[in-house]
A and B are shown apart, each in its own frame.
Chain A
Amino acid sequence: MRLSSLLLRSFATAALFIAVSSCSENLDSSGVCAVLCPEVGGEVQNITLDAVVFDTTVQALSGLGTEPSLLLASRGDTLDTRVIIRFDSLPTRFTPTGDSAQAIKSVDSAYIRLRVDTLSIKGDGPFTIEAYDVDTTANDTSSAAVIALFRPDRFISSQVLARTDLKDTTNYYISNATVLAKLQSGAQLRVGLRVTGATSSQIRINSVQSGLSPLLFFRATPDTTTKPLSVAPFSRTPASDPIVAGYLNDYTVVVKGPPPPPPSVLAVGGLPPRRTYLRFDIPSNIVDSTTVVRATLLLNQISNSALDPTDSLLIVPQLVLAGTAVTDPTKASQIVSDIPGDTLKVRPGNSGPTNVELARAFASWRAVSPDSLPRAIVLKVVGEGNSPLDIRFSSMEDVSALRPRLRISYTSRVPLRIP
Chain B
Amino acid sequence: MRKLFVAIALAVISSRGAAQGALSLQGLGYPTGGLTARAEGSGGGVADFDPISVVNPASLGGVGSAALFFQYSPEFRRVTAGSATAKTTTARFPLVVGVLPMGQRWTLGLSSSTFLDRSSETNLVRLQQVGATTDSVEVTERNRVLGALNDVRLALAWSGSPTFRIGFGAHAFVGSNRISFSQIFPDSLQYISTSQTGRLSFAGFAASAGIEYHPSRVIGFALSGRKGGDLRAQSADTAIGSARLPDHYSASLAYEGIPGVSIAARVAHDGWSSLSSLSSGNTKAFDGWDTGVGAEAAGPRVMQRLVTLRAGARFRTLPFAFNGDKVSETSYAVGFGAPLTRERASFDFAIQHASRKAGPDVRERGLILSFGLRVSP
| Chain A residues near B (Cβ < 8 Å) | 1, 4-5, 7-8, 15, 18-19, 21-46, 283, 285, 289, 291-294, 296, 340-342, 357, 359-360, 362-363, 407, 409, 411-419
**Beyond A19-B74, A39-B15, A291-B192, is A28–B122 a contact (Cβ under 8 Å)?**
yes
Note all chain A residues with C-beta closer than 8 A to B258: none
Q: Measured between C-beta atoms, what is the minimum distance from B337 to chain A in Å? A: 13
Closest B residue to A290 using CB positions: B5
Note all chain B residues with C-beta closer than 8 A to A7: 302
Question: Range of interface residues on chain B?
Answer: 35 or more
Bound-state Cα–Cα, A218 to B259, Å: 114
Interface residues of A, dominant DSSP: mixed
Q: Does any Cβ of A come within 8 Å of B106's Cβ?
A: no
Asked if A417 and B16 make an inter-chain contact with CB atoms under 8 angstroms apart, the answer reads yes
Asked if B89 and A360 make an inter-chain contact with CB atoms under 8 angstroms apart, the answer reads no
Q: Does any Cβ of A come within 8 Å of B124's Cβ?
A: yes
Bound-state Cα–Cα, A35 to B233, Å: 28
Q: Which chain B residues (260-308) contact chain A, with CB distance < 8 Å?
A: 278-281, 283, 301-303
Note all chain B residues with C-beta closer than 8 A to A360: 192
Q: Measured between C-beta atoms, what is the minimum distance from B179 to chain A in Å? A: 4
Asked if A46 and B130 make an inter-chain contact with CB atoms under 8 angstroms apart, the answer reads yes
Bound-state Cα–Cα, A30 to B74, Å: 20
Q: Which of B26, B79, B130 contacts A29 (CB 8 A)?
A: B79
What 1/0 mask marks residues of chain B from 129 to 144 whose CB sits below 8 Å from any chain A CB?
Answer: 1111000000101011
Q: Does any Cβ of A come within 8 Å of B317's Cβ?
A: no
Asked if B88 and A28 make an inter-chain contact with CB atoms under 8 angstroms apart, the answer reads yes
Asked if A357 and B79 make an inter-chain contact with CB atoms under 8 angstroms apart, the answer reads no
Q: Measured between C-beta atoms, what is the minimum distance from A156 to chain B in Å? A: 50
Bound-state Cα–Cα, A407 to B129, Å: 13
Q: Measured between C-beta atoms, what is the minimum distance from A37 to chain B in Å? A: 4
Asked if A29 and B143 make an inter-chain contact with CB atoms under 8 angstroms apart, the answer reads no
**Beyond A34-B81, A39-B15, is A407–B132 a contact (Cβ under 8 Å)?**
yes
Bound-state Cα–Cα, A27 to B180, Å: 13
Bound-state Cα–Cα, A19 to B76, Å: 12
Q: Measured between C-beta atoms, what is the minimum distance from B129 to chain A in Å? A: 7
Asked if B190 and A36 make an inter-chain contact with CB atoms under 8 angstroms apart, the answer reads no
**Beyond A41-B139, A409-B131, A416-B196, is A35–B362 a contact (Cβ under 8 Å)?**
yes
Bound-state Cα–Cα, A24 to B76, Å: 11
Q: Does any Cβ of A come within 8 Å of B103's Cβ?
A: no
Asked if B129 and A44 make an inter-chain contact with CB atoms under 8 angstroms apart, the answer reads yes
Q: Measured between C-beta atoms, what is the minimum distance from A27 to chain B in Å? A: 4
Q: Does any Cβ of A come within 8 Å of B104's Cβ?
A: no
Q: Measured between C-beta atoms, what is the minimum distance from B171 to chain A in Å? A: 20
Note all chain A residues with C-beta closer than 8 A to B322: 36
What 1/0 mask marks residues of chain B from 188 to 200 whose CB sits below 8 Å from any chain A CB?
Answer: 0111111011101
What 1/0 mask marks residues of chain B from 39 to 50 whose CB sits below 8 Å from any chain A CB?
Answer: 000000000000
Knowing that A23-B74, A362-B192, A413-B196 touch, tell me 11 more A-B residue pairs with CB under 8 angstroms: A18-B74, A26-B89, A32-B21, A33-B122, A35-B82, A39-B124, A44-B128, A293-B193, A417-B200, A419-B17, A419-B28
Q: Which 4 A-B pairs have the closest CB atoms?
A: A38-B17, A419-B18, A22-B74, A29-B21
Q: Measured between C-beta atoms, what is the minimum distance from B258 to chain A in Å? A: 25
What 1/0 mask marks residues of chain B from 6 to 26 whose CB sits below 8 Å from any chain A CB?
Answer: 001100110111111111001
Max chain A Cβ within 10 angstroms of own Cβ: one of B1, B89, B120, B301:
B89
Q: Measured between C-beta atoms, what is the minimum distance from A320 to chain B in Å? A: 20
Asked if B192 and A35 make an inter-chain contact with CB atoms under 8 angstroms apart, the answer reads no
Bound-state Cα–Cα, A252 to B266, Å: 94
7 intermolecular pairs with C-beta atoms under 8 Å apart: A4-B303, A8-B302, A24-B91, A27-B88, A32-B362, A37-B20, A285-B2
Bound-state Cα–Cα, A39 to B124, Å: 7
**Beyond A22-B74, A27-B144, A41-B141, is A293–B89 a contact (Cβ under 8 Å)?**
no
Asked if A24 and B89 make an inter-chain contact with CB atoms under 8 angstroms apart, the answer reads yes
Asked if A38 and B19 make an inter-chain contact with CB atoms under 8 angstroms apart, the answer reads yes
Asked if B27 and A419 make an inter-chain contact with CB atoms under 8 angstroms apart, the answer reads yes
Q: Does any Cβ of A come within 8 Å of B173's Cβ?
A: no
Closest B residue to A416 using CB positions: B198
Q: Which of A36, A38, A409, A411 contacts B22 (CB 8 A)?
A: A36
